[in-house]
Chains A and B, each alone.
Chain A
Amino acid sequence: MLEGMIAETVGISGHNGDVIQAYYARPVVAGSVPGVVVIHHMPGWDEWSKEVTRKLAYHGYAAICPHLYSRLGPGRWDDVAAAARARGGTPDAQVVGDLAGAAAFLRAQPDANGKIGTIGFCSGGRQAYMLACKLPSLNAAVDCWGGRVVASSDQLTEQQPVAVIDMTKDMHCPLLGIFGNDDANPDVGQVNRIEEELRNYGKDCEFHRYDGAGHAFFAVDRPAYRPEQAVDGWKKVFAFYERHLQTGAANPTSDRS
C-alpha cells in the first residue's frame, strides 16, 4: 500500500483532440508504475468515481478517470450527467476516443511502466468491454456489471449503434468480469451469454459471480453496497492487475490500425 499520492483534476486530449477534464491520482513512489483508466458509471463523474481512482493509486497504480460528459459543461457533475442523458448518452466513438486519450496520457508519464489497464462500472463496464475490443495497446480490462453488453436491435441507438458483445472477436486483452447474481442488467442469463461468447472466441477471461449482490455493489455510497462481496471483488481486481500490469513487457501493439 502506498499512502503518499498526488491527486488532482487535469486537462487531457480526448476524442478529436478535444480537451476534457480528468481526475488523476498517482502514488508517490520511486520506480515505474502501471496505469489504469477508470470509467465512471452512468450517474456521472461523481465523488465515488474519484474515490475509486485514489484507491487504485493507493494500490500502486497511476489512475485517471476522464469526465466523459465534460463537453456538456461547465457545471456540476450531476447537471452535466443529466444533460448527457437528455441527449441519449455519449456516442461510443467519442467515448473510445476519450478513453484512448486517457490511456495515452498515462503512457506518456515519465514513471509509466508502459502497461495500461481499465476498469469500468455500470455503463462504464460496457465501455471497458468495448475499449478492450477497440484499443489494441490495452493490457487488461475489468468489466464491473456492465449493462447492455448484450443488446437487442431495438436497444441500439445512434449514440450506441453496435451491441458490444458483437465486438468480442476483436478483444485484444484479458478481461475480468465482476457481477452480482441479483442484478437485472446484466442478469444471470446475459452474463452467461457474454462468457460463452468470450470462450467461443478463445479469449482470456475470468468471471466472478456473487450471490447476495446486485448492481453496483462496490459503491459505498449506495444501498446496493455489499461489503463482503465488494472486498472480495476488489481482491480479484488487484490480483488480476498484478498478473497483467505489474510484470512482463508492455503490449507492443500499436493503436493505429
Chain B
Amino acid sequence: MCSWITEKATISGHGKGVADWLPLTTANVYYDHPASAPLDHALIIDFVNEAAGPGARVSVELSAQSAQDLLRAIQAALATGQAQHDLTN
C-alpha cells in the first residue's frame, strides 16, 4: 500500500528476540507470571516454531494496559482499506 501509515502504542514490558528472522508457526497467548518483565502478571505472547526447538521463540511480556493499547493499534492498522481487502479475499 506504500502509505507509511503506522499505528503506534506506548507500551511497558519486555521482549525477547532471536539472532535472525525466523519462520513462525504458532502464537501462544496467555496472562500469567512473566519470566523477565518486572510485573507480577503480564500478557505474554510467544511466537514460536516448535519444530525448530524451544529457543526458536520471539516473546513479548506486556502490562495489561500495554496489551490493550497494542490491541487497539493492531485493530486500527487492520481497519485500513488494504488490510480489509486482504481479509475478505
Contact = CB atoms under 8 A, between A and B. Distances in A.
B54 interface: yes
A82 B28 contact: yes
Interface in A80-126: 80-83, 85-86, 122
A203 B50 CA distance: 44
Nearest to B46: A82
A122 B32 CA distance: 11
Interface stretch (B2-10, B35-43, B68-76): B35-43
Nearest to A80: B54
Contacts of B34: 43
A256 interface: no
A44 interface: yes
A177 to B, nearest CB: 20
Contact of A122 (B33, B38, B57, B59): B33
Contact of B28 (A41, A44, A75, A86): A86
Contact of B46 (A43, A46, A86, A222): A86
Interface in A203-257: 214-216, 222-224
A78 B36 CA distance: 9
Nearest to A86: B28
- Which 9 interchain pairs have the tightest Cβ spacing? A78-B35, A79-B54, A75-B54, A83-B54, A224-B40, A82-B46, A80-B54, A43-B33, A75-B55
Interface of A: 41-44, 46, 72-73, 75-76, 78-83, 85-86, 122, 214-216, 222-224
Interface of B: 16, 26, 28, 30, 32-36, 38-40, 46, 48, 50, 53-55, 57, 59
